[in-house]
Amino acid sequence: MAIDFNFTDEHDELRATIRAFLEAKSHEDAVRTAMASERGFDDAVWKQMAEELGLAGLIIGEEHGGAGFSYVELLIAMEEMGRALLCSPFLGTAVLSSNALMLAADETTQKDVLPGIASGEKIVSLACAEPGGRWGLEGVQMQAALSGDECSLTGTKAFVLDGHVADVLLVVARIDGGIGLFRVESDASGLRRERIPSLDLTRSLATLHFDATPARRVSAGDASAALERTLALGVAALAAEQVGGAQKCLELSVDYAKTRLQFGRPIGSYQAIKHKCADMLVEVEFAKSAAYNACFAAAEDAEDFLESAALAKSYCSEAYFHAAAETIQIHGGMGFTWEHPAHLYFKRAKASELLFGDPTHHREVLAGLVGI
């Protein structure tokens, strides 16, 4: 069935509410303060997002204290957050970890953790990638050790979103010849966490070291399929965030091109600049189609969801990076300064391109899925 890309009035309202909230709470000064802070985001804003807007539990079922919305609402939220360069644990906690729990964890764990996420009280990180740098499950080498009923983890997890501040860690490791999901408490013995000095200051990442760290297996059997879908859902959400960032870059560029005069004319009257803006527009529109398609496919549980997610991540990554790079160029010397926001988008764009697998990785996945 063809996906209809119609947003309802409720959707538009949700978007307007989130935009207004973020304009008030994640304006440029707020972003700069948050990114320089120790935790990497503003706790008060995160609490408000959870309590006032119900965003932390947006896709969590009502039975677990969430809003029970679908990926269409999520795409709207991600797009707005990308636009505002929000610094927050949303992607790691409300998207990745919520999905991992809902798809792969046992009921006890869901009951125990999901309400805490929805209420904004718990920050939860999914730790999957390892220092080798591969994002898919094929990159997971950590092997869970079993002795009797006790389970422990040893090794390193890399690029863990908000891993330095998480209250609960969900760790992906090998067990019984398959993949399992393990719960580790933040004060567990043998756990060491370091925040990575990141290229993109607006998103915090951590490296986690485990040394015979006690863990509890929360998935049954081989959780590969569930976690693969979790990762793909993360990818689709990130693509929507990239669209929001790219759209904002386009707007910044067009506004500047209309108002900046050189040689007595707006720079946007020169085709060199006008065509850059027009090309950005085409790419942003394509990126929207890609990201919306992936998120609608997730919402409808469409059978080509994995395909759509890979397509979206590969296209949106490049569109965003290109838009951000052109934004610097169109702003001239100003675009290269610390005080102008262009560099914040540029760094977010590059880091998002690398996060969860770069475009060549996702094209390779897509090629396999569609038989190229």
Partner 1 sequence: MAEQKTMSEDELRERTRALLAEVHPEKVDSVTFRRKQFDHGLAWVHFPEGHGGLGLSPKMNVVVHDEISRHSKVIHHDPPASIIGIGMGAPVVLTYGSEKMKKEMLPKIFSGEEIWCQMFSEPGAGSDVAGLAMRAERDGDDWVLNGQKVWTTVAHLSRWGMLLARTDPDVPKHDGLSYFVLDMHAPGVEVRPLYQITGEAEFNEVFLTDVRIPNELMLGKEGQGWRVAITTLMNERVAIGGGGSKKKGGGGIAQLQKLWNERKAGAHSAAQEAILRDRVTRCWIDHELLRLTSQRARAAQKAGNPGPEGSVSKLAQAEMNKRMWETAIDVLGSDGLAFEAGYELKQTAPRADTPEQLAKYQFLRSRANSIEGGTSEIMRNILGERVLGLPGEPRVDKDKAWKEVPRS
Per CB under 6 A, residues contacting ligand FAD are: 260, 262-263, 267, 270, 272-273, 329-330, 332-333, 336
What's the token pair of residue 266?
Answer: 């707006």
In sequence order, the β-bridge partners of residue 262 are 265
Among residue numbers 130 through 189, which ones bind partner 1 (CB under 8 A)? 132-135, 158-159
Quote the DSSP letter at residue 335. Answer: G
Query: Out of ligand FAD, partner 1, none, which partner does residue 221 contact, by CB within 5 to 8 A per kind?
Result: none
Between 148 and 333, name the residue whose CB sits nearer to ligand FAD.
Answer: 333
**Distance between CA atoms of 49 and 15, rounded to whole angstroms?**
14
Taking the complex as a whole, how short is the minimal distance between the CB of residue 270 and ligand FAD, in angstroms?
4
Residues 72 and 234: beta-carbon distance below 8 Å:
no
First to last CA, the chain: 23
Distances, alpha carbon 218 to alpha carbons 8, 62, 145, 193, 315, in Å:
37, 21, 15, 22, 34
Q: Residue 67 binds which entry of partner 1, ligand FAD, none, with Cβ cut-offs from 5 to 8 Å by kind?
A: none
Binding mask 308-347 for partner 1 (x = CB under 8 A): -----------------x--xx--xx-xxxxx---x--x-
The least distance separating ligand FAD from the CB of residue 347, rounded to whole angstroms, comes to: 17
CA distances (Å), 136 to each of 133, 235, 289, 351, in order? 9, 11, 24, 17
Which string of x and - marks every residue 205-244 that binds partner 1 (by CB under 8 A)? x---------------------------------------
When the beta carbons of 148 and 264 are compared against ligand FAD, the nearer one is 264
Q: How far is the CB of 332 from partner 1 (least distance, A)?
A: 5
Determine, following the binding rule CB under 8 A, whether residue 201 of this chain makes contact with partner 1: yes
Minimal CB distance residue for ligand FAD: 332
Residues 6 or more apart from 121 whose CB is under 8 A from it? Answer: 50, 167
Angle between helices 71-84 and 9-25 (to 10 degrees): 30
